[in-house]
Amino acid sequence: MTKYDISKVRNIALVGHGDSGKTSLTEALLYDSGMITRLGDIKQGNTTTDYDPREIKKGITINSSLAYLDWKGLMVNILDTPGYLDFITDTKLSLRVVDGTIIVVCGVSGVEVQTEKVWDFADEYKLPRALFINKMDRERADFYRVKDTINKVFGSSVISVQLPIGKEENFQGIVDLIKMKAVIYKKSGDGKPIFEEQEIPQDIKEEAESYRKELVEAVAEFDDELLMKYLDGETLTNQEITSLLKQGIKERKIVPILCGSATMNLGIELLLDFISEYLPSPSETPPVAAKNVKTSSEELVKNSIDSPFSAFVFKTVADPYVGNLTYFRVYSGKLPEDSNIYNSSKSIDNKVGKIYKMQGKNQRPISEVCAGDTAAVAKLKNTITGDTLCDKDNPVLFEKIEYPEPIMLLAISPKTKGDEDKLSTALSKIIDEDPTVKVYRDENTGETILAGMGESHLEVIIDTMESKFGVEVEKSTPKVGYKETIRKKVKVEGKYKKQSGGRGQYGHCWLELEPKARGGGFEFVDKIVGGVIPRQYRPAVEKGVVGAMKKGILAGYPTVDIKAIVYDGSYHPVDSSEMAFKVAGSMAFKKGAVEANPILLEPIMDIEVIVPKEYMGDIIGDLNSKRGKIMGMEESSSGKQAIKAKIPQAEIFKYAIDLRSITQGRGTFSLKFSHYEEVPANIVQEIIAKSKEEEEEKK
C-alpha cells in the first residue's frame, strides 16, 4: 500500500483453549499469504509466534505474539494468544486492542473451559467474532458434534457458513454455504496443495441446502424488506446474504462457524477471505473512551489518522541486554520514527527511535505507524503494559487495565548468597513484562513471596529468572504467619544480676501480664510508685518485653495481644544500667508467658469462591474438609454461585490447584485476611514439632 488506508487494516486475535491449534493456524495464515516460505511445526519448535525458549520447551503458547500479513491488498495484524488458564490474562489483554477475533475450537475436544472464558472476554470488549473448528483431519474429529455443543453453550446465534467434506483422514474439502460451492483439496506432484472449486458433491448436497436455509433465515431478519422477499418465496442473492451476514457479525448478533485444518493447510485461504470480507476495519469500530488530561472530562477517540496521536501499550517484553520492547496499538493520528511522545500515565516525555512491525521475534523497521495499526519500539523509559502514549499538546488517558489478583503463592530466595540484588532486578523486569505477577515480603515470616496465576505460571517465572536473568532460586511453600498469645493474668519477677569483677549488672522488675482482646496489640503500663525503678530505666524494661515477644515460647512465633504492667522492682546505684533492665524485662516476660497458659493463633482468611451451580456441593464439602466455615451463599452477577467462607491460611496455599481440579477450571476465588484465631489443640503439637525441627536444621 503506497498510501495508508485505515479501511484496509484488520486487527484480529486468535483465541481458544490450549492445544486447539492457534499457533499452527497463525503459521498457515502467514504461509498462505506468502509472508513465510515454509510451515513451521510446534514439535520442532520453529513456528513464527512461539519463539520463546520456554514455549518451545513446553510446546505451548505462554505469551501473546504479534504477526502480520498482506492479503489481497489488506494488512492483517494477528495476535496469537495463550490458551492455558494460567496465562489467559495475556489473552484478555490482547482482546483489548483488536477489532475482531477468531475463536479456535478443536474438532476433537470441542468446547472447553478456556473457550467459554475467551467468549466472555469477547463479550466484555463487544468484539465481533467467528468460530473456526480446527483439526478436522484428526481421528475422532466431528464437526457436527462440536457444532451441537457450541450451540448448547453459546446459543442459536452461532450459524455455520461452511461444512466439511469428508471426516478424519478422509477430510478433503469445504462447502461454502454462501456461494454454495465446494473447495476440494488435492496434492500436486511436488506435494504442494491444490484447491479446486467444484459443485457440491451429491452425498452432501441435501445437508448443505438445509444448512444454507438456516443461514439465510438467520441473516434475513436484519432487513425487513429482504425478510418479506424471503418469506414470499423469492431467493436472496449471494450479495444480499453477504451484506446481511456482515451486518449481523458487526452487531454481534451472528457468530459464523468455519472449519478446516491448519496443519493440512485446508480452509486457510477461505478463512483469510472471510477475515477480509466480514471482520471490521478499525474505521468501522466505535470510538474508544478516554479521559482528556487537561480538562479531566471524558471524550471519545475516533480511529482516525487525522486526529492527534494516541496509543495504548498492550505488551512489554523485558530483555536483559537491549531493554524493554514496548508493543502498542495506535488509535488515532500517526507516529513517525525519531519523534517525541508523551506517556500520560506517568507524565513523562519519551524519545522514539526506530519503529518496528513485529513478525514473531523478527523486527522490520518502518518509517511511521498510523491509526489502526500495531507496532513496537525499544527502550521507552518508565513505560509498562497499560500505559497511554499520546501527543503532549493533546494528552488523553485510556482506561487502565484491571488485573486479577494472583491466586498461588511461592516463597523464594536466591540459591547463591549475595544474589539478592540480582534477584530483585530480575523480578522487577518480570513484573514489567507480566503485570499479573506480584512480589512482596511477608512481614510475619520474613519470606519473599512470589504470587502468580497458577502452578504453571509460577514455574515459568522461576524458569525465566534462571534462563533469562541468570538467577537460581530456592522455592518452597510459604510459611504460615502463626502468632502466640496468653490466656490468663500472671504476676512474675525478672531479676538479672551479674558480677564478674569490676562493675556488675543489676536489673530487677515485677511484671503483671494479662491477655488483651484479639487484635488488641501490645500495651505497656508504668505503675511504679516511689522510684523503686528509676524513671530512666523503665523504658528499658519495655524494650526487653518487646524484644522477647518477637520469639514466643511455644513455637518461636511472635507474641501478640498482651498488656504488660511494671509495678515493682529494685535497682543498684552503681551496677544498674539500661541493658540490665532490658534483660530483666525479657526474663520476666519469658517466665510469665510459660505460666500464663500460652496458645497458638493462626491467620484466618475470607474466601469467596464463584462457581457454576452444579459444583456447589463439591466446593462446600471441600471447604469443610479444609476447616472452612461457610458464611453464606448468593448468586453472583454472572449467574454463578458465590460461596463465602472463613478458612485457615494454612489450608489454602494450593487451593488454586484443588479448585481447578474440582470445577475443570470453571471456578474462581479471591482471598483477603480476616483475623487471627486459636489453632485447634490437635494441630498445635504438629506445628510446634515442625518449628523445632526447622530450628535444629538451622544449627
Q: Residue 495: give its domain's CATH number.
A: 3.30.230.10
For the chain, what percent of residues have pLDDT higher than 90?
A: 72
SS3 for 500-536, per residue? CCCCCEEEEEEEEEEECCCCCCEEEEECCCCCCCCHH
Same domain, 565 and 659: no
Question: Which of 113-117's residues contact partners 24+ apart within 8 Å by CB, and which partners?
Answer: 113/17, 113/85, 113/664, 113/665, 113/666, 114/16, 114/17, 114/18, 114/83, 114/84, 114/85, 114/88, 114/665, 115/16, 115/17, 115/20, 115/153, 116/153, 116/666, 117/85, 117/88
* Residue 699 in domain: no
SS3 assignment, position 126: coil
* Residue 12 in domain: yes
**Does residue 1 have a pLDDT over 70?**
no
* Residue 191 in domain: yes
Burial class (CB in 10 A: 0-12, 13-18, 19+), 435: middle
> What is the average pLDDT across 384-409?
91
pLDDT band of residue 320 (cuts 50, 70, 90) is low
SS3 assignment, position 22: helix
The DSSP letter of residue 40 is: -
Question: Are the C-beta atoms of residues 548 and 588 closer than 8 Å to each other?
Answer: no
pLDDT band of residue 191 (cuts 50, 70, 90) is low
pLDDT digits (tens, 9 = 90+) for 428-456: 888 888 889 999 998 888 899 999 998 99
Among 41-50, 120-129, 362-371, 482-491, which stretch is predicted with the lowest mean pLDDT?
41-50
567 to 231, 494, 521: CA distances (angstroms): 98, 12, 20
* Residue 689 in domain: no
- How many residues in total does the chain contain? 699
Dihedral over Cα of 377, 379, 385, 390: its sign = negative
> What is the average pLDDT across 535-546?
96
SS3 assignment, position 552: coil
Among 504-518, 552-566, 627-641, which stretch is predicted with the lowest mean pLDDT?
627-641
Same domain, 573 and 611: no
- Whole-model pTM: value is 0.85
> What is the average pLDDT across 315-336?
86
Same domain, 110 and 19: yes
Same domain, 510 and 622: no
The C-alpha cell of 240 is what?
444480499
- Domain boundary residue, one of 422, 447, 476: 476
Nearest to 472 by CA among 435, 422, 520: 422
pLDDT band of residue 693 (cuts 50, 70, 90) is confident
* Residue 695 in domain: no
Same domain, 34 and 143: yes
pLDDT digits (tens, 9 = 90+) for 328-380: 999 999 999 999 999 999 999 999 999 999 999 999 999 999 999 999 999 89
Identity of the residue numbered 518 = R
SS3 assignment, position 57: helix
* Residue 1 in domain: no
- For residue 312, list its beta bridge partners: 329, 388
What is the rounded distance in angstroms from the CA atom of residue 34 to the CA atom of residue 446?
56
pLDDT digits (tens, 9 = 90+) for 667-677: 889 999 999 99
Nearest to 131 by CA among 109, 108, 113, 106: 106
Among 182-196, 279-293, 624-638, which stretch is predicted with the lowest mean pLDDT?
182-196
CATH number of 381's domain: 2.40.30.10
Which residues, including other chains, have CB under 8 Å from residue 278's CB and lie 6 or more apart?
Answer: 130, 245, 246, 249, 256
DSSP for 225-272, please give it: HHHHHHHTTPPPPHHHHHHHHHHHHHTTS-EEEEE-BTTTTBSHHHHH
Same domain, 367 and 497: no
What is the rounded distance in angstroms from the CA atom of residue 194 to the CA atom of residue 276?
22
Same domain, 414 and 442: yes
Strand order through the sheet with 448-452: 438-441, 448-452, 408-414, 473-476
What is the rounded distance in angstroms from the CA atom of residue 600 to the CA atom of residue 455?
30
434 to 437, 466, 557: CA distances (angstroms): 6, 16, 34
Q: Where in the sequence is the domain holding 562, given as residue range(s)?
A: 483-596
What is the rounded distance in angstroms from the CA atom of residue 157 to the CA atom of residue 500?
92
What is the rounded distance in angstroms from the CA atom of residue 590 to the CA atom of residue 511?
11
- Domain boundary residue, one of 454, 476, 498: 476
* Residue 69 in domain: yes
What is the rounded distance in angstroms from the CA atom of residue 105 to the CA atom of residue 579?
72
DSSP for 560-600, please give it: -SEEEEEEEEE--TTTB-HHHHHHHHHHHHHHHHHHT-EEE
pLDDT at residue 209, rounded to an integer: 93
| Chain mean pLDDT for the chain | 91
* Residue 625 in domain: yes
Which residues, including other chains, have CB under 8 Å from residue 11's CB and lie 6 or more apart?
Answer: 76, 77, 79, 97, 98, 99, 100, 282, 329, 372, 374
Same domain, 465 and 487: no
| Alpha-carbon radius of gyration of the chain | 33
Grid cell 526474663 is found at 587
The C-alpha cell of 343 is what?
506517556
pLDDT at residue 582, rounded to an integer: 97
Same domain, 299 and 181: no
pLDDT at residue 291, rounded to an integer: 94
pLDDT digits (tens, 9 = 90+) for 221-268: 887 788 788 787 778 888 988 999 999 999 999 999 999 999 989 999
pLDDT digits (tens, 9 = 90+) for 63-75: 899 999 999 999 9
Same domain, 104 and 210: yes
CATH number of 432's domain: 3.30.70.870
Domain count of the fold of the chain: 5
Identity of the residue numbered 341 = I
Same domain, 610 and 580: no
- Domain boundary residue, one of 284, 302, 330: 284
Which residues, including other chains, have CB under 8 Å from residue 465's CB and lie 6 or more apart?
Answer: 423, 426, 427, 430, 471, 472, 473
What is the rounded distance in angstroms from the CA atom of residue 412 to the CA atom of residue 430?
15
pLDDT digits (tens, 9 = 90+) for 79-100: 999 998 888 889 999 999 999 9
CATH number of 609's domain: 3.30.70.240
- For residue 104, list its beta bridge partners: 16, 132
Among 118-122, 194-198, 202-206, 285-289, which stretch is predicted with the lowest mean pLDDT?
194-198
pLDDT at residue 305, rounded to an integer: 93
What is the rounded distance in angstroms from the CA atom of residue 383 to the CA atom of residue 368?
20
Same domain, 230 and 361: no
